Amino acid sequence: MPESYAKVIVNPVAGSHSVGREWSRISGQLRKAGLSFDYEFTERAGHAIEIARQSADSGYKCLIAVGGDGTVNEVVNGILHSTKPGNAILGIVAAGTAHAFALSLGIAEDYVKACCLLTGQGRAVIDVGVVQCRKQGQTIERFFVNEASVGFPAEIVDAWKYLPNSFSRSLSLALRTITAYKSLATHRNKIVRLCVGSEFESCSSCAVVVANGRYLADGMQIAPHASLSDGLLDIVIIGDVTKSELLKIRPTLYDGSHTSHPKIREKKTTTITIESDEQLLVEADGCIIGESPASFWVIPSALTVVV
């Protein structure tokens, strides 16, 4: 497979089906940028993993995810589960509803600009996180590139799956915000047991975010001191905050100043384990992947990305 030839993996239902509707424009822009490629549409959840793994095994040197954070996560998992994980680089056209990882990388949300990047020479070698948790009684592992969490953020992600995906991206974002407030009404903090590196503690927590990148969906800078290439995960522990406190904290998430709140702590580590007597949902890169107990660790310099 020629060095310059790419496989473009397109999630047509991403962005409330906007990717499917705009694919002719996106593909035209890729060609205008000078990219040589073929493409394949995903047909179901997990399909991008299969396409990416087979493409990397077949010798494609660049795999481009067209969609949101979930699409990117699947393509990454396909690359890293291939027989040649070090050979393929990841490209991103951020065209889904949420693309926090692209924001963490500094990639434009404008797909015209993103397409132009793909034929440039910019590359970044980044760390990748791994989460091990339970799903349907089985232990599973999943790679993540931006963040993973338990607690309130995972509850919000779980509630999002019931939203219709036939609206525009802007309306979908508005519905996600409304759903987040509804989730807050039913949320309650949980007692969790944490092992951060070699330090153990038990605490009442609203959320524990395991961050590789800095941002969450909607541009929230949840881990302002995180780096994609420092060999560490940034742990943000939101403690026993009340619902009214959480509403006051929300605006500060966009500039990262929430970390000065007395009930919010940051830690850097290579490993963390989260347990609870109650079953907690686990999300990674905006997708629910299982339940607690969950362990997280980092693989330094595991993936090359076009930037």
pLDDT at 116: 85
Percent of the chain whose pLDDT exceeds 70: 98
* DSSP state string for 159-217: HHTTS-S-S-HHHHHHHHHHHHHHHHHH---EEEEEEETTEEEEEEESEEEEESSS--G
Torsion of CA 20, 15, 140, 234, to 10 degrees: 140
pLDDT at 113: 83
pLDDT at 102: 93
Coil vs helix vs strand at 144: strand
Residue 206 has pLDDT above 80, yes or no: yes
Between 37 and 172, residue with greater pLDDT: 37
CB 69 within 8 A of CB 109: no
pLDDT at 1: 44
Q: What is the mean pLDDT of the chain?
A: 93
Mean pLDDT of 136-161: 95
Q: Among 29-43, 51-65, 99-113, name the one with the lowest average pLDDT.
A: 99-113
Residue 65 has pLDDT above 70, yes or no: yes
pLDDT at 4: 57
What is the longest distance spanned by two Cα atoms in the chain?
A: 56
Between 95 and 137, residue with greater pLDDT: 137
β pairing state of 287-306 and 147-151:
unpaired
165 vs 22: CA distance, rounded Å = 16
Which of 63, 103, 91 lies closest to 79 in space, CA to CA? 63
Per-residue pLDDT tens digits for 80-126: 999 988 889 999 998 878 889 999 998 877 778 888 888 888 999 99
Helices and strands in the chain, H and E counts: 8, 15
pLDDT at 171: 80
CB 116 within 8 A of CB 33: yes
Across the chain, the runs of DSSP E, i.e. the strands, are 5-10, 36-41, 62-67, 89-94, 123-135, 138-144, 147-151, 190-196, 199-205, 207-211, 233-238, 264-269, 271-275, 281-284, 287-306
pLDDT at 2: 47
